[in-house]
Amino acid sequence: MTAARRRKHRMILPLIAAVLLMLPLQYAQKAEAAENKTITLVCRQDDTILSGMEWTLYRIGKRNGSEVIFIPELSAYSMDLGDLSADAVDTAAKTIASYVAEAGLAPLSNGSTNTSGELAFGGLNNGLYLAVGKTLQVGNTTYFPSELLLEINDAGIDYDAYPKFYYSDLSNQATKYTVRKVWADNDDQYQKRPPEITVDLFKDGALYQSVTLDAEDEWEYSWSALNDGAVWTVAEREIPADYSVMIDSNSTQFVIRNSCQAPPETTAPPQTTAPPQTTPPQTTPPQTTPPPQLVQTGQLWWPVLPLSLGGIILIGAGISMRAGKKKDEE
């Protein structure tokens, strides 16, 4: 090898080694950025700043295309979330909040809005989140926040969310609440409907009462409680097999909708004797498409070891070549 080529290799090898050693750091920085995203709740109603409103944040899963993949604590509940469009997302958030209470899910974080009516939840990675707020009294008016379904993805790092509110003047008098079951199963066409269901009533996230609904009471139950600013939710304890559930509500009425997912049962046609076939029909096995790969979250540390070793080997090669040059010159 000529002296010029040896000098060229001595210059290139350290540069390659430095690049390889820097790659693990770049991977770590990207992973750190993916886990350091922030959602800021902005709670202001017209000219009223809702300072001191308490919020709790739950991580409920992630989205794979149009499919929601729930965390294990929620995966047992067959929830019907619709298409998660702007019109359906509020009902989806109410349904998820009902089963967050039913499952006793531990919150990821909580806090209160500041003097500007804002609360930031930081250090979040990609996924779906549910924000649940408590009522807040300002003067004689009580503000009731709606549940908020939030998503973090690779499209951006930080963003602001604006919860919806309704308000009322508390009377501290008895108020009538009603829960009603609606069956979307074509009048029990598939005969999958159970004779009764159990519904749990929650007051501010704590179990208040369990009731039974059946056809005798027209799948409806009513109760009375003080209008004291408490937040009520309901949940069907065990969703019937082959059904999915959606829960909607206003301030005093709750509707639990069960949709039957079972296909119509068809009667097999009578067996007939077919003429003998001289050549068996050729069949082609159905083509299957592999499921899409899920986006991986968290820090990517697997490239660190091989890339670092590659850099060390190249540095060693440069040192060896330099020693060979000295020997040739002698």
First-to-last CA distance in the chain? Answer: 15
Query: What single string gives the DSSP state of each residue in 198-257?
Result: EEEEEETTEEEEEEEEEGGGTTEEEEEEE-SSPPEEEEESSPPTTEEEEEEE-SSEEEEE
* Nearest-angstrom CA–CA distance, 280 and 320: 70
* Nearest-angstrom CA–CA distance, 145 and 162: 10
Confidence of residue 11 (pLDDT cuts 50, 70, 90): low
**Average pLDDT in the 30-51 region?**
81
**Average pLDDT in the 259-281 region?**
56
pTM of this structure = 0.70
Question: Is pLDDT larger for residue 246 or for residue 301?
Answer: 246
Element (H, E) at 67: strand 67-70
| CB 71 within 8 Å of CB 60 | yes
pLDDT tens string 17-40: 444 444 444 443 444 445 689 999
pLDDT tens string 291-319: 333 333 333 334 444 445 555 554 455 54
Question: Is pLDDT larger for residue 46 or for residue 277?
Answer: 46
pLDDT for 87 equals 84
Query: What single string gives the DSSP state of each residue in 116-137?
Result: TSEEEEEEE-SEEEEEEE--EE
Query: Percent of the chain beyond pLDDT 70?
Result: 68
Radius of gyration of the chain (CA): 31
pLDDT tens string 85-105: 888 999 999 999 999 999 999
**Average pLDDT in the 38-58 region?**
95
Backbone φ and ψ for 4, nearest 5 degrees, come out as -65, -40
Query: CA triplet 113, 130, 241: central angle to 5 degrees?
Result: 155
> 55 in the Ramachandran plot: left (φ > 0), alpha (ψ -120 to 50) or beta?
beta
| CB 146 within 8 Å of CB 201 | no
pLDDT tens string 153-195: 887 778 999 999 998 887 778 999 999 999 999 999 999 999 9
- Which residues lie closer than 8 Å to 151 by C-beta, 6 or more apart? 63, 127, 128, 129
